[in-house]
Amino acid sequence: MSFEIKEKDLLARIGKLTTKTRTIETPLLLPVINPAKQLIPPKDFAKFGFKALITNAYIIKKQFEDKPIEKGLHSFLDFEGALMTDSGAYQILVYGDVEVNPAEIVDYQEQIGTDIATILDIPTGWDVTEERAKRTVNTTIGRAEQLFGQKTRNDILWVGPVQGGKYLNLVAASAKQMGKLPFDIHALGSPTEVMERYRFDVLVDMIMTAKANLPIQRPLHLFGAGHPMMFSLAVALGCDLFDSASYVLYAKQGRYMTENGTERIEELSYFPCSCPRCSGSDPKDVAQMLKPYVTTFLAEHNLYACAAELRRIKQAIKEGRLWEHMEIRAHSHPALLQALRGLSKYAVQLEKRSPASKGRAVFYYSHDGLSRPEILRYENKLAENYTQPRRNRTLVLVPQTRTKPFHKSQEHAFIENLLRKKLRIFSAVHICIYCAPFGVVPIELDEVYPLSQHEATMPMDEETKQFVSQQLAKYVGESDYGKVLLIDKPEDWGDTVLTSCRTICRRKRIKFQVLNLRKDTRSKEYNR
C-alpha cells in the first residue's frame, strides 16, 4: 500500500492511494451498494465518475455464502474499480448483534478478495453512557490487535476504526491505540447518528480529536458522510475517504440533492443542475412518472451531484481556497455554520498543516474567517520574528486602502506629503497599516503574502473591528514607541480603533495623537 500526497490545503490533501486493484485519487466518495438490491448496477458507477465502491461483507456472506468466494468479489459485482467492504458493524449498531464472529468476517473478506477490508468493530452510537462507550472502545481495540495474528494476505488494506462517539477522551484514547497498530487506513466510527442529528459541531470535535492522535501519513475514512453540503468541512479537517448510501436513500424519499441542501422533486419548477439526467428534463414531467423511474432518476442525479462537489473541492485544494469554499457551504445550514465557528478551537492544528503560500488571494468575508491559518500564522510570525525599527520612535497608524500594496497607493503618497509638509515628522516615523483581517502591517512587510494578496468585505462586522483593534493594542503594548499618531477613519472603524489605541497608550504612558482625515484634510482619496 502507498498513500502519496500531491496537494494540500488546511488538513485536506489530494492523494494517490494504491490498492491491489488500482490507484485511486482522494478525497474520494465510495457509494454504498447492496448486491441484493441493485438500483444501479455496480458496473454503471464509472459513468458517474466513481472508481471505488463499498459493500457489506456481512450481508454478502449471509445472502450469497460461497458464490462471491468462487467468483471473486470484483467478478461477482461486475466492477473493475477498487472495492471496500464493511464488516457488519452498522448492523450491530442497528440490530444489536450479528451472526458472525470477528475471525470469521476477517477470513471471509480475505477469501472474496476485497481491496480494502474492515475489522468487526463495535460502534459506540449516540445515546450511550460513557461506561458503555468505553466498552466499545476496548472491545474494538482488542479485535484490532487480534487481526494481525489472523490475517493471511498482505495485499489487502485493513481499516482500523476509531470509536468513542461524543466522548472525546475516549476518541483520543482509541485513536492513540489504533495508531500504534500497523493498519493501512483508519476510520472514524459512529458519526452517522451525529450527522442525522445535524450535530456537525460534535462531528468536528470527533474528527479533530481523532486526527490529532492518529499517524498523519495514514488516510482517514469517515463512515456515512451523506450529503455534499458537508463534504468540504470533512475534507478540510483531513478526511480522505467517505462512504454513503444517501444518494439512494434520498432518492427513495423523492429528495433531490444539491450542494446546498435537498429539495422535494414535486416542489421543483426547474432543475438547478446540468448533469446528464437533468439536462433537457422538466421536474414536473419527472415527478409524474412511475415511482421506480423517479427513484432511479433521483439516485443517478444525486450521484452526479456528489461527484461534482468533490471535483469542486479538489480544485479548491489545488488553488488554496478551500477555506472560502467551506465557508460558502457553511451558510447552507445553521448547523454547518455553527460547526465552522467551532474551528477556532483548532486554529493551531489547522495552521500547522496548511501551506504557507498559495497561488490565489485570500478572500475574507466575515469574522467566521478569523480562524483561518493565514491570519494566525501572520500573528505568530509578527510576534516572534519582527522587530520595530529602533531609529523611528513615532508610530503612525494608517487605515487600509483599496489599492494594494499600500505604499503604491495614492493615499500613501498623500500621507507622506501630509507627514512631511504639515506635521514635519516624516523622517522620524514608522508607518504601519491597520487592516482587516490581519491587524497591524508594518509598511516594510507590505508586499509579503498574503498582506497585499487579500480582499476583505466592507463594511466590516463588529467582531472583525474588535479583532483588529485587539491586534493594534497588542502590537503597541509589546513595542517601544515614544509617540503614536493614529490616522483615524471612523466611517469604516467606528470608535473601536481609537478607543483601543488610546487605552493602551495611556496604560504605557505613550504620547497619543489622533488625526481624522475626513475632518482635518481635503483628501479626495480618503473622502471618497
Q: Which residues are catalytic?
A: 86
Residues whose CB falls within 8 Å of the CB of residue 292, separated by 6 or more in sequence, listed in order = none
Task: Collect all residues with Cβ–Cβ distance below 8 Å to 5 and sequence separation of at least 6.
Answer: 13, 14, 15
- Cβ atoms of 128 and 160 closer than 8 Å: no
Decide: 170 and 133 in contact? Cβ < 8 Å: yes
Q: Where are the beta strands (DSSP E) in 423-524?
A: 429-435, 439-442, 454-456, 483-488, 511-516
- The rounded distance, in Å, linking the Cα atoms of 354 and 372 is 9
Q: In angstroms, rounded to a whole number, what is the distance separating the alpha carbons of residues 436 and 259?
A: 30
In sequence order, the 6+-apart residues with CB closer than 8 A to the CB of 405 are: 446, 447, 451, 452
For the beta sheet containing 439-442, the strands, ordered from the edge strand earlier in sequence to the opposite edge, are 439-442, 429-435, 394-399, 483-488, 511-516
Task: Please state whether beta strands 394-399 and 483-488 pair in parallel, antiparallel, or not at all (unpaired).
Answer: parallel
Total length of the chain: 528
Element (H, E) at 342: none
What CA–CA distance (Å, rounded) separates 224 from 215? 22
State the cell numbers at 76: 461477482
Residue 175 near residue 213 (C-beta atoms within 8 A): yes
DSSP letter for each residue of 154-212: SSSEEEEEE--TT-HHHHHHHHHHHHHS--SEEEE-S-HHHHHTT-HHHHHHHHHHHHH
User: 150 near 184, Cβ under 8 Å?
Assistant: no
Which letter does DSSP use for residue 228 in this model?
A: G
Residues 6+ apart with CB under 8 A from 331: 337
